[in-house]
Amino acid sequence: MPIDEGIQPGPPPAKSAPKKREADEPLRHPTPRSPFPLTAVLVVAIGILVLLLVFSVGFNVWFIMRSEHRFGRNPEVIRTEGARAQAGGPPRTARR
């Protein structure tokens, strides 16, 4: 390539006019980010609530399944055990 064909003087290339839509719209700044990460706080709060729910359900199941509880037992058995305790006899221990 000879040196003559390099940069040639001449009129600058024609520029296209800016689109009317871009020229009429005011410049918009980007939406600012939140200074506090609410999403992370919500994830942690929901995790803690789920953990508490699991422990609560586990405790309730454990409490109901114990053999010492009085819920769901026959009232006759409870009266008989109470009478034996007042009479001084050994309490009947039945495991379920």
Three state DSSP letters for 21-76: HHHHCCCCCCCCCCCCCHHHHHHHHHHHHHHHHHHHHHHHHHHHHCCCCCCCCCHH
What are the angstrom distances between the C-alpha of 50 and each of 41, 42, 58, 59? 14, 12, 12, 14
Percent of residues, the chain, with pLDDT higher than 90:
22
What span, in angstroms and rounded, lies between the C-alpha atoms of 88 and 84? Answer: 6
Tokens standing for 1? 């390539």
Q: What is the pLDDT of residue 42?
A: 95
Q: What is the pLDDT of residue 52?
A: 98
Model pTM score: 0.42
User: How far does Cα 43 stand from its chain's mean position?
Assistant: 4
Q: Mean per-residue pLDDT for 39-49?
A: 96
Q: What is the pLDDT of residue 84?
A: 83
